[in-house]
């Protein structure tokens, strides 16, 4: 306990973190404060402390997943919040910083961890998105939007915030009836169906998830628009070779995080080639608020293999190589944190169903993922970027007024 105490001492100021050892000894860090959690972590197996010390996030996650540590009330959200919020990214706070040698090792390995070939990309997507449509349906909104919502009002429902996200993106695309739109990483089809409904555009949605494809096609059939909104199991690199200069608009939401740095230039080259000369693209992605980094071991191992959260600098550097003009950039600083808290609460409500479908370990892994992600967006170095690209500087109005006007009109519908 001495080493763990040395790490936490002076790091927890607000709220209390009580760590109870196997012998019943309790160590309390911090002081109770209004608006801050009070959390009790219990060490069940003696090897848990060593696992946590060797690799704080992966060690804590795995110890929690297999029951080597427990959190009273299963308040894993409170646990990660009290640690992260007391040590915010803006003030340089970290707990369990990597040793210099490990950081160097991770930097060397980073390109190899993100070599997402066509086959590997398909396998990585299947790992996360092919769990089952029923699982995601339990806790996502009515349209199954698995990306950051847009909270115009803090007290909006998740459903309304996700509708607002779609309207926000549609407005930035400046759509006209009859245009051809490509949705890269189309999920369960919600964005494609929405754009067709509100703007009368034809949409091709592409995904590497067989489960998503099945449901997206069924939804298009049910809506009677399968001739206007099509979905294919297809990689963007393959499509770029088949259909250059085909699309008036491209939208990509929550997919760029799966591309990997070695493929950034290829991704933007494909997008530029797929667009018409006056085409417009809207990229919505999680991003680092600071400099480039590495994917943490827990996320890489259990949640998004091959994934990487890009810094804005490396995203723009890659797009600049193919002469895509960044015509509008918006940073969504807290919207994903609010979205994740909603998802976390909904997953908790469906705990019994999730455990029955998978098992207790899977449920614990999932809430640790959602809690850790929430803390990263509330106090860590993560945010969301919406970047609008054009191939021609004259393709869009020269002020942003059209975005605001279109968005208001869409939300009134």
- Residue 170 is predicted with a pLDDT of 98
pLDDT at residue 54, rounded to an integer = 82
d(CA 183, CA 158): 22
Q: How far apart are CA 49 and CA 215, in angstroms?
A: 44
- Determine the pLDDT at residue 332: 97
CB within 8 A of 108, min separation 6: which ones?
Answer: none
Burial 210-226 (b: 16+ CB within 10 A, else e): ebbbebbbebbeeeebe
Return the pLDDT at 101: 45
* Domains, the chain, ordered by start: 2-91 (no CATH), 115-412 (3.40.50.150)
The predicted pLDDT at position 118 comes to 65
DSSP 3-state of 94? coil
Among all chains, which residue has been given the structure tokens 């949409």? 203
Please state, in angstroms and as integers, the Cα–Cα distance from residue 300 to each residue in 113, 280, 294, 304, 339, following that order. 9, 32, 10, 5, 22
Count helices and strands (H / E) in the chain: 18, 11
User: Environment class of residue 151 by beta-carbon count within 10 Å: exposed (0-12), middle (13-18) or buried (19+)?
Assistant: buried
Those residues whose C-beta lies under 8 Å from the C-beta of residue 101, and which sit 6 or more positions away, are: none
CA gap 325, 281 in Å, rounded: 10
In DSSP terms, which residues pair with 203 in a beta bridge? 181, 229
> Contact 250/281 with Cβ under 8 angstroms?
yes
Residue-by-residue pLDDT tens, the chain, 413 positions = 555 676 677 789 999 999 998 888 899 999 999 999 999 999 999 888 888 888 888 999 999 999 999 999 999 999 999 999 999 998 886 654 444 444 544 554 545 455 556 656 666 666 676 689 999 999 999 999 999 999 999 899 999 999 999 999 999 999 999 999 999 999 999 999 999 999 999 999 999 999 999 999 999 999 999 999 999 999 999 999 999 999 999 999 999 999 999 999 999 999 999 999 999 999 999 999 999 998 888 998 899 888 899 999 999 999 999 999 999 999 999 999 999 999 999 999 999 999 999 999 999 999 999 999 999 999 999 999 999 999 999 999 999 999 999 999 999 98
Instruction: List all residues 6 or more positions away from 96 whose beta carbon is below 8 Å from its beta carbon.
Output: 7, 53, 55, 56, 57
Query: What pLDDT sits at residue 127?
Result: 62
Residues 6+ apart with CB under 8 A from 118: 235, 237, 238
Residue 353 gets the label, from left (phi > 0), alpha (psi -120 to 50) or beta, of alpha
Q: How many angstroms separate the CA atoms of 169 and 331, rounded? A: 13
Of 244, 297, 303, 304, nearest to 270 by C-alpha is 244
SS (HEC) of 204-252: EEEECCHHHHHHHHHHHHHHCCCCCEEEEECCHHHHHHHCCCCEEEEEE
């Amino acid at each position: 306990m001495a080493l763990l105490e040395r790490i936490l001492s002076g790091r927890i100021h607000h709220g209390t973190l009580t760590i109870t050892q196997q012998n019943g000894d309790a160590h309390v860090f911090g002081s109770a404060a209004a608006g801050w959690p009070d959390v009790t972590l219990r060490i069940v197996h003696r090897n848990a402390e060593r696992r946590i010390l060797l690799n704080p996030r992966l060690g804590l996650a795995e110890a929690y997943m297999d029951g080597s540590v427990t959190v009273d009330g299963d308040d894993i959200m409170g646990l990660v919040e009290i640690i992260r919020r007391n040590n915010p990214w803006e003030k340089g706070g970290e707990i369990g910083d990597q040793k210099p040698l490990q950081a160097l090792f991770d930097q060397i390995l980073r390109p190899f961890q993100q070599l997402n070939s066509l086959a590997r990309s398909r396998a990585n997507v299947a790992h996360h998105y092919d769990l089952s449509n029923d699982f995601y349906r339990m806790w996502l909104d009515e349209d199954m939007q698995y990306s950051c919502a847009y909270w115009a009002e803090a007290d909006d429902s998740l459903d309304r915030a996700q509708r607002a996200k779609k309207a926000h993106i549609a407005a930035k695309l400046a759509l006209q009836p009859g245009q051809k739109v490509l949705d890269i990483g189309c999920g369960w089809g919600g964005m494609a169906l929405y754009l067709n409904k509100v703007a009368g555009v034809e949409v091709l949605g592409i995904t590497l998830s067989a489960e998503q494809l099945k449901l997206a096609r069924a939804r298009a059939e049910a809506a009677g628009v399968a001739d206007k909104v099509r979905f294919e199991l297809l990689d963007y690199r393959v499509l770029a070779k088949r259909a250059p200069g085909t699309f008036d608009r491209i939208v990509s939401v929550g997919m760029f995080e799966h591309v990997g740095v070695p493929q950034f230039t290829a991704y933007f080259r494909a997008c530029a080639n797929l667009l018409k000369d006056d085409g417009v693209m809207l990229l919505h992605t999680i991003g680092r608020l600071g400099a480039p980094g590495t994917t943490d071991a827990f996320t890489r191992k259990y949640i998004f293999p091959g994934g990487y959260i890009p810094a804005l600098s490396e995203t723009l550097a890659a797009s600049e190589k193919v002469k895509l003009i960044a015509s509008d950039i918006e940073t969504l600083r807290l919207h994903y944190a609010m979205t994740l808290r909603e998802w976390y609460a909904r997953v908790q409500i469906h705990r019994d169903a999730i455990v029955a479908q998978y098992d207790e370990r899977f449920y614990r892994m999932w809430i640790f993922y959602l809690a850790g992600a929430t803390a990263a967006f509330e106090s860590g170095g993560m945010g969301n970027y919406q970047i609008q690209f054009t191939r021609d500087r004259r393709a869009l109005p020269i002020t942003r007024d059209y975005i605001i006007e279109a968005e208001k009109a869409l939300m009134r519908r």
